Amino acid sequence: MAVKGIKDDGGSSDDIQNIEDAITPTDLDPKADKKLLRRLDLHVLPWLCLLYALSLFDRNSISTAKITGLVDDLKLVGNHYSVALLSFFPTYILIELPANTLIRKFGPKRMLTGMIICWGTVAMCFGFVNTFSQLIALRVLLGIFEGGFNPACVYLISSWYKRYEVQQRIAIWYISGSFISGFSGIISYGLSSMEGVGGLRGWRWIFIIPGILTICMAVPIYLFVSDFPEKATWLRPNELARIQSRLEEDRGEKMEDKITRKVLIEVYSDWKLWVLSLLHFFITSGAYAMSFFTPSILRGFGYDVALSQILVTPPYVCAALCAIGSSILADRYRKRSPFLVGFMMLAILGIVLIGWGHNTGMKLTGVFFAITGTTCATPAVLAFMVNNIVGSAKRQAGIPLQLMFGGLGGVAPSLWFRNQDAPYYMPGLYASLTSFSMCAIGAASMALYYRNQNRKADKYGIILEGLEGFRYTL
């Protein structure tokens, strides 16, 4: 495989004619691979983690603004709040696939920089809305500008790592963002205390300050966010060659693969990808429910506004630690479905405790369990799909499909958790129980199917996914 010359850190521009010529015996040493992975982690992950945290904060700030004056000032009645939540998702979902097909053309630097400038501006403008219609319009715009961000990040991460290295990296990206945004309750409480500053209500500052911060991040993102391997100027030529070799050995990866009509037909006619996407819907419906409604649920337990905001943070801290640890184990044992089923059982237990716990302590424990289960399951289901798709172009088309279903998961709790059901939200809890149960059943069923296909391949020499020697990840 020919590899174009790239300037290394010292300015060398020697052309590499062939991967075999570029890889020295040291490069093939596991210790050298570990050193390379650490270098990749430091360049690829940190800025994506920070961006994800900002996106979560900007889209979910409405949940804390709700209990600090937004509802009264905008005169939201009936299902107005749920409609406002819902309005974000149609454009967010529709933009994901088109955006991900363009990322190879424009590159992560330009795409991500443009996106954060736009969504940061919209997020800041929430602080100046005066009517329900203005709120809806801004939620629609936010969906447009944030749509495509998550698929771009997952696709970029999966373009750098082998199949059984990817879940812990997705977990670090997803959990680091969730962990940082988990402090949104405390941050929002501090911002809401700016009541009267500049003649503005405190809830308005919950949008204005983070929006300005997001816009300011455009410069460092453009300067430091990593591109795809073949365009990453910080890579040395021998490192690029080794990365290409590792990916081709692992899953037949060719960086020059492009999305074509044939690829799209193959991806969207594969029932397995639709099932794995549906599993993501079941998980995110619960995750968004906890994100949007945990402050309101805590208020229903009898806590005041301040404590309801602050108590949002500890469950996410716990979930972050558990998710990263479990993802490392999942990569080590090369399994996805057992962890996925286990996390859903934990989330089900959490919902049961929230709805039917005998005291506040049990209900709070339920909040911890539900948030931990849904948070830990998300990297697992993303890796479940990424591991079972062969080819860069197919992943580029398949990942948005799964994340579109994740966006639909954000629509569902907006309809399940209605204001008239406060403070216990029993219909929403029943719907969450059903969703988590369906996810557990679906994950177990897919694992059984994949195991059966692997056995047929071992016994009869069937070629799976068009790649000789490929086996599904269970």
Going by pLDDT thresholds of 50, 70 and 90, the confidence category of residue 32 is confident
148 within 8 A of 268, measured Cβ to Cβ: no
Q: What angle do CA 299, 140, 312 make, to 5 degrees?
A: 25
- Given this model, what pLDDT does residue 321 score? 87
Please state the rounded mean pLDDT for residues 63-76.
86
Q: Per-residue pLDDT for 446 more than 80?
A: yes
| pTM tops 0.75, yes or no | yes
Between the ranges 29-43, 141-155, 336-350, 352-366, where is the mean pLDDT highest? 336-350
- Please name which of 192, 181, 190, 199 lies closest in space to residue 70, comparing C-alpha atoms: 192
In terms of phi and psi (left: phi > 0; alpha: psi -120 to 50; beta: otherwise), the region of 143 is: alpha
For the chain, domains (ranges, CATH) are 31-460 (1.20.1250.20)
Please state the rounded mean pLDDT for residues 128-141.
94
- Given this model, what pLDDT does residue 14 score? 44
What single DSSP character describes residue 126? Answer: G
Please state the rounded mean pLDDT for residues 383-398.
87
Maximum CA pair distance of the chain?
Answer: 75
Q: What is the pLDDT of residues 316-335, one digit of tens each?
A: 888 888 999 999 999 999 99
Q: What is the pLDDT of residues 182-218, one digit of tens each?
A: 677 778 878 888 888 888 998 999 999 999 999 999 9
- Please name which of 86, 146, 140, 97 lies closest in space to residue 117, comparing C-alpha atoms: 146
Amino acid at residue number 1: M
How far apart are alpha carbons 43 and 235 in whole angstroms?
10
How far apart are alpha carbons 321 and 342 in whole angstroms?
16
